């Protein structure tokens, strides 16, 4: 069975500093990987996704993530954060074999960007 572990529940960081949000997954089959962002009382918005090909994926708002198959990780990074990046971030995995019918989410990481 698939599972997703987001290692940090909260990450405080100062504005313009770099940030990394960690995500590890477990799956016995090939997977698709995603990062979503959720602003308060809103739905989720896709930041980026890894389906195949280059292991470094660039997304919206200056975020990027690197797929590491040997470490089963998909960490999210941004070189310089803004106050507006304060939100909750979810890592997700879906089973390529079933066409993505089940997307499993991590518990989320709350990013606080301080001035």
Considering the complex, state which of residue 50 and residue 78 has its C-beta at the smaller distance from other proteins.
50
Q: Least distance in Å: CB of 3 to other proteins?
A: 11
Residue placing its CB nearer to other proteins in the complex, 35 or 81:
35
DSSP string, 21-34: E--EEE-SS-EEEE
Q: How far is the CB of 101 from other proteins (least distance, A)?
A: 6
Residues recorded for the chain? 115
User: Which residues of this protein are in contact with other proteins, per CB under 8 A?
Assistant: 4, 6, 32, 34, 36, 41-46, 49, 51, 90, 92, 94, 99-108
Residue 49 vs 77, nearer CB to other proteins: 49
Report H helices in 29-110.
Answer: none
Structural tokens at position 102: 């089940």
Q: Do the Cβ atoms of 34 and 91 come closer than 8 Å?
A: yes
Min CB(6)–other proteins separation in Å: 8
Distance of closest approach, residue 89 Cβ to other proteins, in angstroms: 11
- 109 CB-near residues (< 8 Å, 6+ apart): 6, 8, 9, 10, 11, 21, 22, 88, 89, 90
């Amino acid at each position: 069975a698939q599972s997703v572990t987001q290692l940090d529940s909260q990450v405080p960081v100062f504005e313009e500093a770099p940030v990394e949000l960690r995500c590890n997954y477990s799956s016995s089959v090939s997977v698709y990987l995603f990062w979503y962002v959720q602003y308060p009382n809103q739905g989720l918005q896709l930041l980026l996704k890894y389906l195949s090909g280059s292991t470094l994926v660039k997304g919206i708002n200056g975020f990027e993530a690197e797929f590491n198959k040997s470490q089963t990780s998909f960490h999210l990074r941004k070189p310089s954060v803004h106050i507006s990046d304060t939100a909750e971030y979810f890592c997700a995995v879906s089973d390529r074999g079933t066409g993505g019918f089940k997307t499993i989410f991590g518990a989320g990481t709350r990013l606080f960007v301080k001035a």
